[in-house]
């Protein structure tokens, strides 16, 4: 019932991905080419491959896909200082999905565990945030609409590592911004922005513009501590949203840790909607 992915079944997996996972808010609409490159040949921001090895298997019944798994070794790990170490690798289940109550879904995990066992990988990750698909803003965590998958992961020794909250904000109703005292300084084709007031930098943000999409992902935003509690964070967000709308972006998404209460209050205050929880997992 397990089949290794082939050129003939890639389109079927794409159709499955688009139909079965549409409840997940960060699976934006992409075409086959965008999805295919991100699924099998994904690269980091520096153009280097995210994975040194990936395997993809389908769970098939009567020629119909019931689930799939993708696992392998990353091309690098992060050291304690956040730098990339290309001499080491994370063992990751990048993605596993099956329709709820599907029989024999355990075969997918059996396949990955056998691979990791053969390599002697003791510490194993699942849904590692950073190594998610780039066409979905690197959202690698499991969304709460699919938390039934968590039960199966638990049976194989996986425990929750991190939990985030996903947010989205419609920019359709964003009004013209009248905060003329705040300016932008853009770099990297607008992906990095500094907020400036009176010729002094007061904060910044980083953005991920999704390919051929009107959705933009906010990777992070900050205001310098000496300018906090002055309402400038709200003004900068409003300024950002108005500018993105002017560029044709209709939706701004972001996420934050479930423990970051300050960020959660900030996103609620600036008009974002809570779209659910996301989790990553590991074995100890």
> Does one domain contain both 89 and 199?
no
Tokens describing residue 192: 């990095």
**pLDDT of res. 188:** 78
> Does one domain contain both 155 and 176?
no
Domain annotation covers residue 92: yes
Candidates 263, 197, 280, 278; CA nearest to 27 is 278
> Does one domain contain both 121 and 192?
no
The 10s digit of each residue's pLDDT in 219-255 is 999 999 888 888 899 999 998 998 899 889 999 999 9
Domain annotation covers residue 269: no
**pLDDT of res. 210:** 86
Tell me how far apart the alpha carbons of residues 92 and 67 are, in angstroms, rounded to a whole number: 18
Domain residue limits at 219? 172-249
> Does one domain contain both 150 and 238?
no
Residue 87: CATH number of its domain: 3.40.630.30
- Positive or negative: CA dihedral 99, 100, 103, 107: positive
Indicate the pTM of the whole model: 0.92
Tell me how far apart the alpha carbons of residues 137 and 28 are, in angstroms, rounded to a whole number: 9
**pLDDT of res. 78:** 94
**pLDDT of res. 142:** 97
10-residue mean pLDDT series, the chain (284 residues): 94 92 88 95 94 97 94 96 95 95 95 97 95 93 96 96 96 72 81 90 92 90 88 90 91 96 95 96 92
**pLDDT of res. 47:** 92
Parallel/antiparallel/unpaired status of strands 77-78 and 84-85? antiparallel
**pLDDT of res. 124:** 97
């Amino acid at each position: 019932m397990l089949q290794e992915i082939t050129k003939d079944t890639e389109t079927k997996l794409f159709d499955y991905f688009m139909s079965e996972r549409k409840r997940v808010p960060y699976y934006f609409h992409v075409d086959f080419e965008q999805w295919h490159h991100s699924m099998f040949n994904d690269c980091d921001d520096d153009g280097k491959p995210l994975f040194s090895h990936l395997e993809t298997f389908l769970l098939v019944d009567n020629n119909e896909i019931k689930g799939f798994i993708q696992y392998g070794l990353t091309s690098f790990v992060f050291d304690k200082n956040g730098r990339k170490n290309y001499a080491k690798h994370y063992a990751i289940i990048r993605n596993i999905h099956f329709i709820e109550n599907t029989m024999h879904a355990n075969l997918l995990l059996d396949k990955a565990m056998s691979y990791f066992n053969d390599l002697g990988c003791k510490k194993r990750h699942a849904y590692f945030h950073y190594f998610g698909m780039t066409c979905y803003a690197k959202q690698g965590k499991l969304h709460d609409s699919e938390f039934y998958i968590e039960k199966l992961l638990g049976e194989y020794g996986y425990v929750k590592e991190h939990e985030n909250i996903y947010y989205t904000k419609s920019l359709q109703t964003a009004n013209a911004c009248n905060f003329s005292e705040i300016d932008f300084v853009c770099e990297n084709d607008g992906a990095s922005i500094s907020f400036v007031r009176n010729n002094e930098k007061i904060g910044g943000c980083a953005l991920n513009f999704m390919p051929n999409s009107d959705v933009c992902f906010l990777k992070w935003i900050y205001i310098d501590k000496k300018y906090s509690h002055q309402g400038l964070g709200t003004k900068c967000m409003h300024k950002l949203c108005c500018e993105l709308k002017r560029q044709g972006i209709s939706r701004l998404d972001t996420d934050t840790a479930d423990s970051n209460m300050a960020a959660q209050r900030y996103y609620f205050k600036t008009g974002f909607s809570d779209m659910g929880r996301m989790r990553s997992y590991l074995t100890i």
